Amino acid sequence: MNTCPCRLSSLIVATALLGLASPAVAAPKPSLNVALHLCDDDGIQPNLVSRAQVEMTRIYEDAGVEIAWTTDAALTVGSDSLPPVRSTYPLLTLVILCRELTDELTVDTTALGAAVGTRDYRGRVAYVFYGRVAHIAQTYLNVSHEPGTDDLYMVIVLAHAMAHEIGHLLLSYGHSPTGLMQAEWDATDLRLAVDRQLNFTDEQAELIRGQLLARTADIPSPHSD
């Protein structure tokens, strides 16, 4: 099977998740705080990023997790599309980088993103490379250049790259042989993404929920003086 030059990350982090039980059926859905920051560049279209946020939220909802987004001034998201979600989980940061800053990084030239950290330390910051995502979306999905499809495919690939990189901050080190956390996506995988069928595996979803619930339980409850 031929693969497209679509490597999902090069700097990945996590610690093995052992003994994390899945939440009980009656347990509240775990939530996750994600701060989104955009590189200040005319090539990045905030409206496409906001649509990708909605799609990424759907991906995590399918895994049983709600996302609470915190955005900087460069991005304005309508309250109807992304309602606020309360969360006590420590904040993770997702940075959308422009082409100029991406080219300065020492990462694989085919990587669509990266998550900072080491094999033994799970970090809190992930990056997605906007220009590379746009290239992949146009080259491997919109081959017919049908009117109106460029934006849709860009949103889909961007959302899945965002979800993948945040996934590296929540899951054990490395990639999986199938699903959203594969090291590389081919044209078939990208089509699955368009059909909303490229997601976390059931095992990964269970691990993410367990990780979030375990960390939330470790945070002291606020109290008044």
pLDDT (tens digit, 9 = 90+) per residue, 173-222?
Answer: 778 898 999 999 998 999 999 999 999 999 999 999 998 888 776 555 54
Please give the DSSP secondary-structure letter assigned to residue 197: -
Q: In what order do the strands lie in the sheet with 113-115?
A: 66-71, 31-38, 92-97, 125-129, 113-115
- pLDDT (0 to 100) of residue 118: 73
Flag whether pLDDT at 50 surpasses 60: yes
Angle, CA of 208, 166 and 56, to the nearest 5°? 90
pTM: 0.77
- pLDDT (0 to 100) of residue 193: 95
- pLDDT (0 to 100) of residue 23: 41
Could you count the other beta carbons within 10 Å of the beta carbon of residue 182? 18
Asked if 115 contacts 169 with a C-beta cutoff of 8 angstroms, the reply is yes
- pLDDT (0 to 100) of residue 110: 77
Structural domains of the chain, ranges and CATH numbers in brackets: 31-208 (3.40.390)
Flag whether pLDDT at 140 surpasses 90: no
Classify the C-alpha dihedral 144-147-152-155 as positive or negative.
positive
User: Which amino acid is residue 57, in one-letter code?
Assistant: T
More confident residue, 100 or 194: 194
Flag whether pLDDT at 95 surpasses 60: yes
Q: What does the pLDDT average to over 12-34? A: 51
Asked if 209 contacts 30 with a C-beta cutoff of 8 angstroms, the reply is yes
Q: What does the pLDDT average to over 59-74? A: 84
CA distance linking residue 54 with residue 57, whole number of Å: 5
Residue 1: pLDDT band with limits 50, 70, 90: very low
Q: What percent of the chain has pLDDT over 90?
A: 42
Q: What does the pLDDT average to over 127-136? A: 92
- E strands, the chain, in order: 31-38, 66-71, 92-97, 113-115, 125-129
More confident residue, 96 or 224: 96
More confident residue, 120 or 96: 96
More confident residue, 101 or 65: 65
Q: Is 23 exposed, middle or buried (0-12, 13-18, 19+ CB in 10 A)?
A: middle
The dihedral region occupied by 172, where left means phi > 0, alpha psi between -120 and 50, and beta the remainder, is: beta
- pLDDT (0 to 100) of residue 179: 92
Nearest to 159 by CA among 82, 53, 85, 64: 53
Angle, CA of 19, 22 and 23, to the nearest 5°? 130
Flag whether pLDDT at 81 surpasses 50: no
Farthest-apart Cα atoms in the chain, separation: 64
The dihedral region occupied by 51, where left means phi > 0, alpha psi between -120 and 50, and beta the remainder, is: alpha
Name residue 36's beta-bridge partners.
71, 94
Flag whether pLDDT at 123 surpasses 60: yes
- pLDDT (0 to 100) of residue 219: 53
Parallel/antiparallel/unpaired status of strands 113-115 and 31-38: unpaired
